[in-house]
């Protein structure tokens, strides 16, 4: 299990996390290596909207699209005061982690300014905070049956609403979330 790489995979929280901050979450893993993993929870909207985030940051906007209703996501419990933009295409921003040929994770303000002026990436999710795992931690949690994994789909990330993402990721596995059990089977 030590040699797995979950970069560009979804982590689906198992029902055993019912009382956890990750209960019923779908997390997109942006980087996974020997030092640990970084992910963004992509199905947990906050009360903060994109237009209010722009106002809080003092970013003038020329956007005409309905950003008043676009929610900022809870990306995870680490660095809740920092913004993370998951986007396609990658582009050339000041601080971007390239996930793969299609998706980047940017933390610099230049991308938010570009989004506010309709010069940003074609598709983007904005989150506050991220999920992080130390070296070997995610592998340990997988061995404890805390997560299901499935290769990620950009369509699930960018083309569906927050509420539709977890069921869609489950369909990639051919499983219905309601059918998952808290029990671990042994043969």
Average pLDDT over residues 114-140: 93
Q: Tokens 């998952």 sit at which residue? A: 180
pLDDT the model gives residue 118: 84
pLDDT digits (tens, 9 = 90+) for 34-75: 999 999 999 999 999 988 898 898 988 776 655 667 899 999
- Residue 130: asked if its preceding bond is cis (omega within 30°), the reply is no
Tens of pLDDT, residues 17-39: 777 899 999 999 999 999 999 99
* Confidence (pLDDT) at 1: 47
Task: Report whether pLDDT(107) > 90.
Answer: yes
182 pLDDT more than 80: no
Work out the percent of the chain whose per-residue pLDDT is above 70: 90
The residue that leads in pLDDT, 20 or 169, is 169
Residue that is written with structure tokens 């237009």 in the block: 51
C-beta of residue 81 within 8 angstroms of C-beta of residue 56: no
Q: How far is Cα 137 from Cα 89, in angstroms, rounded to an integer?
A: 30
Tell which residue, 25, 27, 28, 32, has the closest CA to residue 6: 32
Q: What is the CA radius of gyration of the chain?
A: 17
Max intra-chain CA distance, the chain: 60
Q: Is the pLDDT of residue 186 over 50?
A: no
76 Rama class: left (phi>0) / alpha (psi -120 to 50) / beta: left
């Amino acid at each position: 299990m030590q040699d797995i790489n979950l970069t560009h995979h979804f982590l689906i929280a198992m029902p055993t996390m019912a009382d956890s901050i990750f209960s019923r979450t779908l997390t997109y893993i942006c980087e996974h290596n020997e030092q640990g993993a970084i992910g963004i929870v992509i199905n947990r909207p906050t009360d903060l909207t994109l237009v209010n985030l722009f106002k809080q940051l003092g970013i003038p906007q020329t956007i005409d699209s309905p950003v008043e209703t676009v929610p900022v996501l809870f990306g995870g419990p680490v660095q809740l005061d920092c913004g993370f933009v998951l986007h396609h295409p990658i582009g050339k921003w000041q601080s971007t982690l390239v996930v793969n040929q299609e998706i980047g994770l940017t933390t610099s303000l230049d991308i938010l300014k570009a989004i506010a002026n309709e010069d940003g990436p074609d598709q983007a999710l904005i989150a506050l905070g991220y999920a992080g795992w130390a070296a070997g931690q995610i592998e340990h949690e997988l061995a404890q049956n805390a997560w299901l994994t499935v290769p990620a789909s950009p369509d699930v990330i960018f083309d569906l609403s927050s509420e539709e993402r977890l069921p869609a990721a489950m369909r990639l596995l051919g499983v219905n979330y309601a059918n998952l059990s808290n029990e671990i089977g042994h043969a």
